[in-house]
A and B are shown apart, each in its own frame.
Chain A
Amino acid sequence: MSALLERRLLVVTGKGGVGKTTVAAALGLVAARAGMRTIVAEVAQRGDVASVFEREGSEPFEEVDLAPNLFHISIDPQDALEEYLRDQLPSGAVAELLIRSRVFAIVAAATPGMRELLTVGKLWELAQLDRRTPGAGAYDLVVVDAPATGHGVAVLSAPRTFAAAAGGGPVARQGKIIDAMLSDPQQVAVVAVATADELAVTETGSLRSSLKERMGLPLEHVVANMLDPDRFSAAEATLLEPHVRHPAVARALRGHHRALRQRAQLARLRELTGRAPAQLPLHPGGPDLELLADELEQQL
């Protein structure tokens, strides 16, 4: 875990429905417990991180605190654009003119990679020790609740794509600076979340290749989420078989077989990613962040 917490940016991604937001929040909690000033940033979503902490969704782009040392922000590309213009342009009046201009909005939207670049630019800004946002404090760690797998890599590679397409100018220069950080494994770690089912495992395998190919980054950690308890040994299952007419035994055996199928998928996950996945149990009563953070502390 300590190696993970030495990074500036932890990018948590995975297929839809695997509990990515919960794992990102739990990772944030681990860091916050270690005394690090941490922010969990979600990208173009609607207050999911806040609701994991049973809080009302915040206004987009506002840094709010969820727990001691733990903050949250929801990044919207439009807000990022406005902040960027206000920061970059010498005159506030010119920035406001641009922000209100529909022509500008359309051109900005039509410029390849602009949306992703702005999002990632804000992530980069959050990770700076010397923040550009006036009056904002520095964070020790930024945990990103990234978009689902395919798009996640697109977001990370946006500055590179943009810098290559643009000839010069400040945005391309800044794109290169941002890319240098994002592709530096000393500063950035990508954590993939998967459930132990075939689709999610396959997708995690593809994530590993595209991450390597497009960013030169390894998949730092893999988290297998919502696992059923592996409660019975093979010998115990054999003992249970004759009593299958008892409904509770039948149910227990079904659970056992589910756990066995999950083991097989975990083996695939390990093989496809070259990583021993951290294993988080399904909490039947709903995810308990403190317990998940305990597990992650021990396993990563």
Chain B
Amino acid sequence: MTTARGIAERLEDKRICIVAGSGGVGKTTASAALALGLAATGKRVAVVTIDPARRLADALGLEQLGNEPRLVDPALLDANGVEMRGELWAMMLDPKATFDGLIDKLAPDERTRDDVLGNRIYAQLSSAIAGSQEFSAVAKLYELDRDGDYDAIVLDTPPSRNALDFLDAPDRLTDFFEGRALKLFLVPTGIAARVLGAGTSVVFGILKKLTGVNLLDDVSILFRAMGGLIDGFRERATAVKALLADPGTTFLIVASPEREPVAEAIFFRQKLREARMPFGGLIVNRVAVLDEDEDADLIAIRAALRDELGDALATKVAQSAADLQLLASRNAEAIERLKAAFDEPEPIVVPRLDGELQDLDGLLVLYGMLTSC
């Protein structure tokens, strides 16, 4: 990449934009801003958010979990001065409803479905093994894409510590369903069970003795019921994985210029490379920047202001400038680290703004910044 490209250009041919990054970097707001901006240019866009802040949810008119995108009222947008040429649809992901819906779709019959959904440990299982939020997010993404109702879908990723959970989710699910262990549960009788069953019952026995939990029966009932869903799950996981690597999909990585988010972003970029997933761009959010014309000479600042403000106040102004300079240079170093690790000479840098960007105006301001880079 030799020239700076704004976000709109980077996303031009993309159907799916996945926004990744560590917690607290402004992922959800960036996702909403992107979706709003893309919709304003005439696209029909759906944004899938996970646990948005109250004010953002209000701004988008998302009163409750719906698990299906809803049209953001054009009148609301109009009232906020947004000239909307396309359509903005928004939803808050309900991981459990998504996972339940998937079971419902894939179950061969009602009884299997009820066995699974009514199982005491099903909820636990879905989060412990499938990484419920992560898998639900990609599963929903897949459904929305397959339904083909939108020109573009923007997905805000779960606020997990490790963004990798998200990339791994389909694999982990497949891995789990294809595991030899599961087959043992699924074939409780027969030669295989007689040969391998002894070890299994020892395991069960010890576990039961240790935990005193009577859930082991539930576990095997659940696994047996899930047996009927294996093929469907496997196919779905494979399709979801293919979708993540599709040329119409792109990953945007958001970081703030602090140690942890930078490390996390670099780590995630590396994993994307290894998994051969498409990378669309790096957004560095909340950056302290100095305008080019700002006088950096602290002694000069003091001298220039001393007569009018008095020495004490002029010194405070100079101190304030010094702090900002130090912060800006630390932020610049963080950006250099990111550039080197990403091999990306022109990341999109969003300055830290005054106030919070939770309303529609704020989203538009942010979108303006994303495109003007």
* Chain A 236-257: CB-based contact to B (< 8 A → 1; otherwise 0): 1001100100111101101101
* A interface residues, tally (CB under 8 Å): 67
* Chain B 104-133: CB-based contact to A (< 8 A → 1; otherwise 0): 000000000000000001001100110000
Main secondary structure of the interface of A (DSSP, over half): helix
Interface assignment of A165: CB less than 8 Å from any CB of chain B: yes
Chain A residues with Cβ below 8 Å from B321 are 248, 251-252
- Contact pick for B179, options A106, A169, A171, A257, CB 8 Å: A106
Contact A166/B213 with A240-B313, A251-B321, A284-B323 known, Cβ cut-off 8 Å? yes
User: B184 and A18: CB pair below 8 A?
Assistant: no
Contact A257/B354 with A21-B260, A89-B206, A109-B128 known, Cβ cut-off 8 Å? yes
Distance (Å) between the CB of A100 and the closest chain B CB?
10
Distance (Å) between the CB of B211 and the closest chain A CB?
4
Interface assignment of A285: CB less than 8 Å from any CB of chain B: yes
Beyond A106-B179, A107-B203, A110-B124, 12 additional pairs, beta carbon < 8 A? A16-B23, A16-B24, A16-B159, A98-B206, A102-B180, A107-B207, A107-B216, A111-B211, A166-B214, A239-B309, A248-B301, A251-B320
Q: How far is the CA of A223 from the CA of B309 in the complex (A)?
A: 35
Interface residues of B (CB under 8 A from A): 22-25, 53-55, 121, 124-125, 128-129, 159, 161-162, 176, 179-182, 184-185, 199-200, 202-204, 206-216, 219, 222, 256, 258-261, 263, 267, 291, 293-295, 301, 304-305, 308-309, 313, 316-321, 323-324, 326-327, 330, 354-356, 358
Closest chain A residue, CB of each to CB of B210 = A171
Chain B residues with Cβ below 8 Å from A239 are 309, 313
Q: What are 18 inter-chain pairs, A to B, with CB distance below 8 A?
A: A48-B260, A98-B206, A103-B204, A104-B207, A110-B121, A111-B213, A111-B219, A165-B215, A169-B213, A170-B209, A197-B356, A198-B53, A231-B319, A239-B313, A247-B293, A251-B294, A255-B324, A258-B354
Distance (Å) between the CB of A252 and the closest chain B CB?
4
Chain A residues with Cβ below 8 Å from B355 are 261
User: B309 and A240: CB pair below 8 A?
Assistant: yes
Interface assignment of A227: CB less than 8 Å from any CB of chain B: no
Chain B residues with Cβ below 8 Å from A231 are 316, 319-320
Distance (Å) between the CB of B119 and the closest chain A CB?
10
Distance (Å) between the CB of B38 and the closest chain A CB?
24
Contact A110/B128 with A199-B53, A236-B316, A258-B354 known, Cβ cut-off 8 Å? yes
Q: How far is the CA of A282 from the CA of B352 in the complex (A)?
A: 14
Interface residues of A (CB under 8 A from B): 15-18, 21, 44-46, 48, 51-52, 88-89, 94, 97-98, 101-115, 147-148, 165-172, 197-199, 202, 229, 231-232, 236, 239-240, 243, 246-249, 251-252, 254-255, 257-258, 261, 282, 284-286
Chain B residues with Cβ below 8 Å from A98 are 203, 206
